[in-house]
């Protein structure tokens, strides 16, 4: 942690880089002090492709947050995403070793180690191991088996893995920008933690984070994730479509999309208000209605939701959308697009809401936005990790993650955190 109880979260996305500076309050809460956002240069589909450009964006975002917070940043926790992220479910079984058959912290660590012992290719590493439930003898559905009596202990876990090189390149950018990375966490995991209530996680809910270059999803059931996935398409494709169709530069089209765009035609059907687009290269300006803009945006957003739906149905063998009692929560920059919740509800046949960051102080109305949920989620995740270290490594709902120094492999230390 940085000095003075300062926590820093860095969300390095395809279209923008966001840094959030917060502090731990005396009662264990988190207050946001400063936020800095800059355009992201150097990433493609969530993965670093240009180190120099990315480190400049990182340095600028942190500097803006520092100016707003009046604090100096030395170390931070950063999020990772991209099509290389994969989630798998695994289970471990151990015999309880103590004489009186009472389950101890050591037994829980042993069963988690057994569950995480999956064979991974050389180019992949474990980012998180999240306990779903424990089974003591034949009793299922146990969240914390500590001090229970039993002969056999099983753990069902969700393991998130990612590409080693993607993580190393991200680390390199942040280190070269002058900051130490204390931990790398999965974007959608920390983002979902801050937009969902405990009830929604128990009931069964899917969070879809629509970023610039990728759309990430995570599904919860009985309080824990059972599926994480990524589709390599995001809001930038919408901007690109508009740019090609309306023959205007990407930046102009991004502004048009945000200010006048909708992805659900019924919302703007009768809107005949005309928007004038500047002519490019000596061409005369042209006028377009909001309904026409929606006609261009809707097919691409529909495609994104269909890709998410197909991936979940194929890989998680899940098709009971109407049974998702907690519904679907949209977050990320794409959730700001007018009509996104209505369109998603039509595609999935499920209740949909927009997810805003919850559970942190210091957020003014204009900062309670879905595109900030990852960066704010990273800060909250770090706060919980630190609180849990103080409790002897217990209580973090995100399970164990990775602490990274300069050399990723050699200096890897695993956090072992469990449900409270």
Give the chain's radius of gyration (CA, Å).
22
Q: Do the Cβ atoms of 116 and 93 come closer than 8 Å?
A: no
Round to whole Å and give the CA distance between 74 and 180: 6
Q: What is the pLDDT of residue 387?
A: 75
Query: What are 232's two structure tokens?
Result: 């390599």
Which whole-number Å values give the CA distances from 324 to 113, 223, 318, in the listed order?
31, 13, 10
Round to whole Å and give the CA distance between 337 and 234: 12
CB within 8 Å of 302: residues ≥ 6 apart: 263, 343, 347
Question: Any bridge partners for residue 19, and if so which?
Answer: 10, 36
Three state DSSP letters for the chain? CCHHHEEEEEEECCCEEEEEEEEECCCCCEEEEEEEEEECCCEECCEECCHHHHHHHHHHHHHHHHHHHCCCCCEEEEEECCCCCEEEEEEEEEECCCCCCECCHHHHHHHHHHHHCCCCCCCEEEEEEEEEEEEECCEEEECCCCCCECCEEEEEEEEEEEEHHHHHHHHHHHHHCCCEEEEEEEHHHHHHHHHCCHHHHHHCEEEEEECCCCEEEEEEECCEEEEEEEECCCHHHHHHHHHHHHCCCHHHHHHHHHHHCECCHHHCCCCCCEEEECCCCCCCCEEEEHHHHHHHHHHHHHHHHHHHHHHHHHHCCCCCHHHCCCEEEEECHHHHCECHHHHHHHHHCCCEEECCCCCCECCCHHHCCHHHHHHHHHHHHHHHHHHHHHCCCCCCCCCECEECCCCCCCCCEECCCCCC
Q: What is the pLDDT of residue 395?
A: 43
Q: What is the pLDDT of residue 48?
A: 81
* pLDDT tens for the chain, residues 1 to 420: 444 678 999 998 888 899 999 988 877 778 889 999 988 887 787 778 888 888 889 999 999 999 998 888 888 999 998 889 999 999 999 999 888 999 999 999 999 999 999 999 999 999 999 999 999 998 999 999 999 999 999 999 999 999 999 899 889 889 988 899 998 999 999 999 999 999 999 999 999 999 988 999 999 999 999 999 999 999 999 999 999 999 999 889 999 998 999 999 999 877 778 888 888 888 888 899 999 999 999 999 999 999 999 999 999 988 888 888 999 999 999 999 999 999 999 999 999 999 998 877 776 777 788 888 999 999 988 888 877 766 544 445 455 554 433 333 222 332 223 222
Q: What is the pLDDT of residue 91?
A: 94
Round to whole Å and give the CA distance between 40 and 47: 11
For domain 86-161, the CATH architecture is 2-Layer Sandwich (3.30)
Q: What is the pLDDT of residue 398?
A: 55
For domain 198-357, the CATH architecture is 2-Layer Sandwich (3.30)
Round to whole Å and give the CA distance between 380 and 22: 9
Which whole-number Å values give the CA distances from 252 to 94, 219, 256, 258, 279, in the listed order?
59, 35, 6, 10, 11
Round to whole Å and give the CA distance between 192 and 100: 40
Other C-beta atoms lying within 10 Å of the C-beta of residue 198:
9
Any idea where the domains of the chain sit in the sequence?
86-161, 198-357
Name the residue among 167, 183, 172, 173 with its Cα closest to residue 58.
173
Round to whole Å and give the CA distance between 275 and 286: 8
Round to whole Å and give the CA distance between 209 and 81: 11
CB within 8 Å of 308: residues ≥ 6 apart: 208, 215, 217, 229, 231
């Amino acid at each position: 942690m940085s000095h003075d109880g300062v926590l820093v979260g860095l969300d390095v996305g395809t279209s923008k880089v966001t840094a959030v500076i917060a502090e731990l309050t005396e009662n264990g809460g988190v207050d946001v002090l400063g936020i800095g956002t800059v355009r992201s240069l150097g990433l493609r589909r969530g993965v670093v492709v240009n180190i120099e450009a990315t480190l400049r964006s990182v340095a600028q975002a942190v500097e803006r947050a520092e100016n707003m917070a009046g604090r100096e940043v030395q170390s931070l926790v950063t999020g990772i995403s991209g099509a290389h992220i994969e989630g798998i479910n695994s289970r471990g079984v151990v015999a309880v070793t103590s004489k009186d058959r009472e389950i101890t912290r050591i037994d829980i660590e042993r069963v988690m180690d057994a569950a995480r012992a999956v064979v991974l290719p050389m180019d992949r590493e474990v980012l998180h191991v999240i306990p779903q439930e424990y089974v003591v003898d034949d009793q299922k559905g146990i969240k914390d088996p500590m001090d229970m009596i039993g002969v056999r202990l099983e753990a069902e876990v969700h393991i998130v893995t990612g590409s080693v090189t993607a993580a190393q390149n991200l680390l390199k950018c942040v280190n070269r920008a002058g900051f130490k990375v204390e931990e790398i966490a999965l974007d959608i995991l920390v983002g979902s933690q801050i937009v969902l209530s405990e009830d929604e996680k128990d009931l069964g809910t899917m969070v879809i984070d629509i970023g610039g270059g990728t759309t990430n999803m995570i599904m919860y059931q009985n309080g824990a994730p059972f599926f994480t996935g990524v589709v390599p398409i995001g809001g930038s494709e919408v901007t690109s479509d508009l740019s090609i169709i309306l023959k205007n530069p990407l930046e102009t089209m991004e502004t048009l999309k945000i200010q006048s765009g909708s992805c659900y035609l019924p919302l703007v059907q009768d809107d005949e208000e005309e928007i004038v687009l500047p002519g490019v290269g000596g061409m005369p300006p042209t006028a377009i209605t909001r309904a026409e803009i929606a006609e261009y945006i809707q097919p691409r957003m529909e495609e994104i939701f269909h890709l998410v739906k197909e991936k979940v149905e194929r890989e998680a063998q899940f098709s009971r959308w109407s049974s998702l009692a907690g519904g679907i929560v949209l977050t990320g920059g794409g959730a700001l697009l007018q009509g996104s919740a209505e369109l998603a509800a039509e595609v999935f046949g499920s209740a949909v809401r927009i997810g805003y960051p919850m559970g942190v102080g210091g957020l003014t109305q204009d900062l309670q936005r879905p595109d900030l949920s990852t960066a704010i989620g990273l800060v909250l995740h770090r706060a919980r990790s630190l609180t849990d270290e103080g409790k002897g490594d217990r209580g973090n709902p995100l399970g164990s993650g990775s602490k990274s120094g300069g050399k990723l492999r050699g200096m890897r230390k695993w956090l072992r955190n469990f449900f409270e």
